[in-house]
Structure 1
Amino acid sequence: MIYIKRSILTALGLGLSLVLAACSSEGNQESKQTSNVSIADKESLKSQTSKTNHSSDKNSESTSSASSGSQVNGGKGNAITSPPAKADNKKVDMSAVTAVRLADPQTGWVGGNGWIAKTVNGGYNWAVKYKGVGKVQQIFALNQQEVWATLNQGGNSLRLLQSKDGGEHWTLIGTSPNKGFLHFISSNTALSGNAYSLDGGRTWRPFETPKNIVNQAYFHDLKNGWAVTQSKQVLSVQKTTDGGKNWYPVLSKKLVSPLEDAIIRSTGVNDAWIECIGDSGMTQTSYSVFHTMDGGNSWNTVIANSTSGGGPAPGFTQEDRNGPKNKGTKPGPFYVVNPKVAFMGGSCPACDDPNSIGWTKDGGKTWVNSNETFTGYGDSYLAIADENHGWWIITENTKPSVMYTTSDGGTHWGKVHIFR
């Protein structure tokens, strides 16, 4: 009898040991499966969760604000990639466009307050590709894939966004060094006013510029640049060929009154377009445009718009009013395509249809004005692909921005989209 009890106890003990061993085996197997999830995978899962949690506009703002504390000019910083934006224009107020850029007549981008949108059919349809904080000031496209944009989030600097996949995803990479014209001559080399970058816009270094400069210099590349100076009632266009170490004058004009601003564009080593903006009065502003194709040896007067309210165009006298005229009483957007082709808008705040446009296609020897004018009392924006194809966006303070396009060189413009 005692033997039987011992046998039963032994059997029960053996069975319990087998159950415990089995449980232990399952625990070890589960531990091995968990260990196959690497730290990187965990971080990826965490990142995906974070992106999901930041899908609302409010959380997008906090994401951008957190990034703004990183050191953008001294290192890589904490770059932030926005979530893949799904085209849902109803959630974004696109009524006020503040920047435009095209890669070709069909493909391009526009931006506004906290958003960037893309078209692939010449502006008829747009899809939002970025939502964040800040007003888009500029967009620049090196090609159909590489795009940059500057954001005004308040303060003295502009945040710099980059996309490497045609605007599908955007990364905050740093700040723009100034509010000059941002342009890239390669994926790594960028120029903006008096500064340049060799790492795609992440860090910037200053150029040396001449004394008494008006606004920003414009560098076509790392060596060749242009600047406008004024001293003792003389307007002077200065040129450098060694990256700003030495400057020398290539054009001088007497001024009746001081310059208020100067805008420079260049599409070649020897090419420079100089817009000089003078006095204003009675909703009128006087301005002139000069152009050289031979490095400054010779110049064409492209535009000389003297006005009653603003006085003589810079570089001209009250008696000299026979220069080529652009329509309107104030300068509009200026877009240079190549050494031969440039377009410029005109504005007439006192007119029923204040927006006009003109162009040259022979390097400034002649200036042609379109007969078409359009309403809209806000800022206007130009993006020109070639001598025949271009976009013109006209804004209104209380109405949505409207986009017009031309395929015959500016003679006719058709409405293709109303932004809402």
Structure 2
Amino acid sequence: MILHKWMKRSSLAAAALLLAVPISWAAPAREASAAAQTSAPCGSGDHGLLQSLQKEHSGPDQDPLHFTDIQFLSGKTGRAAGTGFMIGTSDAGCHWQEIYKGQWQFKQMDFVDNVNGWALATMPSQQTSYLIKTTDGGSHWKGVYTGKIHFDRMQVIDKKTGYGYTGTGAYRTDNGGNSWVKVPTPANTRYTNFNNTKTGYVLTVVPGGGYKVLQTRDGGHSWTTKLTVKTPSMAGGEIYSKDNQVWAILYGDSGMSQVSYSLYGSTDQGSHWKRVIAQDTAGGGPAPGSWTPVVKEGPAQPGGHPGNMQLFGKETAFLAGGSPAGGVVSIGVTYNGGKSWKNVKPTVNGYDGRISFVDGKTGWLVVTSSTKSSIYETLDGGASWSRKFAFKEALQP
């Protein structure tokens, strides 16, 4: 089904949706003053930014200002977004500037270059996610019409091509969001990820108990099973893929602020797999699957929750992790496709975070916990971290 044709036949519905969304798609960008930029030491505090927003979020009934996503395009240039704001750096976090302040509460961003980017964001006090895009680096945003479909995740391939994902399916645009095509996916799909317009992977649940990972090489017209995992508990999962690497996070149950999960990895497009992590927990029970794992715990203990992954080259993979029980955020890493796995000792306070690595050693971690929200840099694969930005709540003991 081609949404472009459907949109033309549904102009009244389109108008109703657009009326429901405020016309002002973006607030003007505001740059930090030259004095603030020069006076702030490298990597110190909040650099004097977002003062008005921080004040608005400082009341006893207010959720403190916090980050939700981070993306670095190089070791120097990157952005971090959060609850009504986006900031950026061009000198590896020594100095930051305000890129955007306004109504959009960012959930996810994906820039294809330093100018063109897409994001999923909500409006204040709303739950509905809207797809928006920018052509000026993030200072101004405009809505991308998606009909009645609201995406949970999105992925940018290039300036024109992108994917929008729901909980059970996928949609592709080849013209910058002017129209969308529904991508055929197997029954019981729970997570989808595409490397390009031809090669992609899905995670499905098996009625009666279990997960499957399937691959397409023709844009979704046919699918081949690459991994089958039997388990009585199916709470969903995630797929990460790039070039020949494929990684699947499979969830068991959760409880007592703990989650059980397995991490399976492949370096040959799913032909062969390793069960790299199998984390059983008292609150969540056994991890899905039965193969002997490389390690029995993931990053950030006790009971760490897996975060997002970053893949590089043929065999390098990073996994973020956070522990609400331990109050720490950390990462795990393999440099040999999962033959060995190292969970880096936690050195960062918080309970949830996201990572953005630019190579096998240089990376960034943003703590998304509302009271410990900070940005950290590593130059040694996560063995050590230096804080580059922090809201005032994160600086308190």
TM class, shorter-chain normalised?
0.7 to 0.9
Which residue pairs with 2:141 in the alignment? 170
SS of residue paired to 1:358: strand
1:382 match:
355
C-alpha deviations, 1:87-108, integer Å up to 9, x for none?
Answer: 3632333831112111112211
Scaled by the length of structure 2, the TM-score of the pair is 0.78
What aligned pairs does 1:214-225 form with structure 2 within 5 A after superposition?
Answer: 214=190, 216-225=191-200
**TM-score of the pair, normalised by structure 1:** 0.74
Q: Deviations over 1:30-77 (max 9, x none)?
A: xxxxxxxxxxxxxxxxxxxxxxxxxxxxxxxxxxxx9962699xxxxx
Aligned residue number for residue 92 of structure 1: 53
- Does 2:198 correspond to 1:227? no
Shift of 1:81: 5.9
Q: Relative to 1, partners in 2 of residues 1:295 and 1:288: Cα closer, same or farther, differing over 3 Å?
A: same
User: What amino acid sits opposite 2:18 in the alignment?
Assistant: G
Look up the match of 2:373: 401
Distance 1:105 1:95, change over 3 A: farther
Residue equivalent to 2:35: none
The correspondence for 2:280, drawn from 306, 318, 321, is 306
CA contact (8 A) 2:245 2:266 kept: yes
Residue 69 of structure 1 aligns to a residue whose secondary structure is helix
Change in Cα spacing, 1:143 to 1:181, as seen in structure 2 (3 Å) is same
SS in 1 for 2:132: strand
Over residues 134-163 of structure 1, what are the superposed CA-to-partner deviations in whole Å (9 max), with x where a residue is unaligned? 320001111222222211126674222322
Q: Distance in 1 between matches of 2:127 and 2:227?
A: 33
How many residues were matched structurally? 343
Question: Quick one: percent identity of the two aligned structures?
Answer: 30
Give me the whole-angstrom Cα distance separating, in 2, the residues matched to 1:332 and 1:235. 18
Note if contact 1:288-1:313 (Cα within 8 Å) is conserved in structure 2.
yes
- Deviation for aligned residue 1:251: 1.1
Question: Can you give the 5+ residue segments of structure 1 that lack an aligned partner in the other structure?
Answer: 1-65, 73-77
Query: What residue number does 2:131 align with?
Result: 160
The answer to whether the 8 A contact 1:393-1:404 is kept is yes
1:186 maps to 158
Match of 1:98, SS state, is strand
Question: Which amino acid is the alignment partner of residue 356 of structure 1?
Answer: S
Which residues in structure 2 correspond to 1:200-349 (within 5 Å)? 200-214=176-190, 216-231=191-206, 232-255=208-231, 257-268=232-243, 270-316=244-290, 323-327=295-299, 328=301, 329-338=303-312, 339-349=314-324
Counterparts of 1:81 and 1:178, CA distance in 2:
19
1:100 to 1:189, Cα distance in 2 relative to 1, 3 A: same
Answering whether residue 87 of structure 2 is matched by residue 142 of structure 1, we say no
Is 1:195 paired with 2:168?
A: no
Relative to total residues, which structure has the larger helix share, 1 or 2?
1
| Unpaired stretches in structure 2, ≥5 consecutive residues | 1-14, 33-48, 55-63, 393-397
The equivalent residue for 1:45 is none
Output the CA distance in 2 between the equivalents of 1:138 and 1:209.
Answer: 23
- 2:67 counterpart SS class: coil
Conserved? CA contact 2:277–2:293, under 8 Å: no
Whose RCO is larger (CA < 8 A, sep 6+)? 2
Once residues 324 and 67 of structure 2 are traced to their aligned partners in structure 1, the CA distance between those partners, rounded to angstroms, is 19
Deviation at 1:207, TM superposition (A): 0.9
Q: Which amino acid aligns with 1:393?
A: V
Work out whether 1:105 is the aligned partner of 2:75.
yes
